Amino acid sequence: MIYLLNWCWSKDQGAYPQPGAVDGWLGFWLRIKCSICIVLGLKGRDPYNFDIVPVAIGPMSTFQTFDGPGASWSELGVGYGCLHWRYYEIRNGI
């Protein structure tokens, strides 16, 4: 739990072409909401929900496959809606 809270409030570790985490007042509110969800243990199970906003992005790692190069990174996201109080640990990539 402490690791997730530190990650939620840490500086974004994203690199191009990763999308950035949300910023400004909305980003501050969503980080508070994510922290509350982490403390209460409200972890979501469906990472393919389109209502998730990333609040923290981990470093990108690259790899080589038979199809060519690839990249992946981890994201900590929270539901955007007023009634959507869940946090998500998502693995994303290109």
pLDDT in the model for residue 17:
64
Q: Which residues of the chain have pLDDT under 50?
A: none
pTM: 0.82
pLDDT in the model for residue 19:
66
Q: Which of 38, 39, 40 is nearest to 88 (CA)?
A: 38
Whether residue 44 contacts residue 87, with contact meaning beta carbons closer than 8 Å, is answered with: yes
3-class state of residue 46 by DSSP: coil
pLDDT in the model for residue 18:
65
